[in-house]
Copies of this chain bind each other. A is one copy, B any other.
Amino acid sequence: MKEINVKPAEGRLGVLVVGCGAVATTFITGVLMARKGLAKPIGSMTQYDKIRVGHGVDKQYLHYKDIVSMADLRDLVFGTWDVYPQNAYQAAVYAEVLKAKDIEPVRDELMAIKPMKAAFDKNYAKRLDGDNVKDCKTRWDMVEALRADIRDFKEREQCDRVVVIWAASTEIFVPYDAAYHKTLDQLQAAMKADDREHIAPSMCYAYAALEERCPFIMGAPNTTVDIPAMWELAEKTHMPIAGKDFKTGQTLVKSGFAPIIKTRNLGLAGWFSTNILGNRDGLVLDEPANFHTKEVSKLSTLETICKPEEQPDLYGNIYHKVRINYYPPRNDDKEGWDNIDIFGWMGYPMQIKINFLCRDSILAAPLLLDLVLLSDVAVRAGRYGIQRFLSFFLKSPMHDFTQGEEAVNNLFEQYTMLKNAIREMGGYEPDEEID
Contact = CB atoms under 8 A, between A and B. Distances in A.
A52 to B, nearest CB: 5
B328 A270 contact: yes
Nearest to A249: B350
B337 A362 contact: no
Interface in A13-56: 26, 29-30, 33-34, 39-45, 48-52, 55
Interface in A340-360: 341, 343-359
A345 B432 CA distance: 29
Contacts of A184: none
A310 interface: yes
A265 B50 CA distance: 10
A352 B328 CA distance: 16
Given A323-B325, A432-B433, A362 B348 contact: yes
A356 B98 CA distance: 25
A102 B346 contact: yes
Contact of A411 (B260, B267, B357): B260
A53 to B, nearest CB: 10
Contacts of A33: 346
Contacts of A256: 256-257, 259-260, 263-264
Contacts of A42: 265-267, 313-314, 343-347
A196 interface: no
A365 interface: yes
Contacts of A253: 260, 352
A374 to B, nearest CB: 14
A433 B276 CA distance: 39
Nearest to A34: B346
Given A257-B260, A260-B411, A339 B345 contact: no
A424 interface: no
A269 to B, nearest CB: 4
A433 B40 contact: no
Given A352-B356, A353-B355, A329 B363 contact: no
23 contacts: A30-B346, A33-B346, A42-B266, A42-B345, A42-B346, A43-B264, A256-B259, A259-B412, A263-B415, A265-B366, A272-B325, A274-B323, A274-B325, A276-B339, A319-B327, A319-B329, A321-B327, A323-B323, A348-B362, A350-B363, A351-B356, A353-B354, A354-B354
Interface of A: 26, 29-30, 33-34, 39-45, 48-52, 55, 59, 61, 98, 102, 252-253, 256-257, 259-260, 263-267, 269-270, 272, 274, 276, 310-311, 313-314, 319, 321, 323, 325, 327-330, 335, 337, 339, 341, 343-359, 361-363, 365-366, 411-412, 415, 419, 431-433, 435
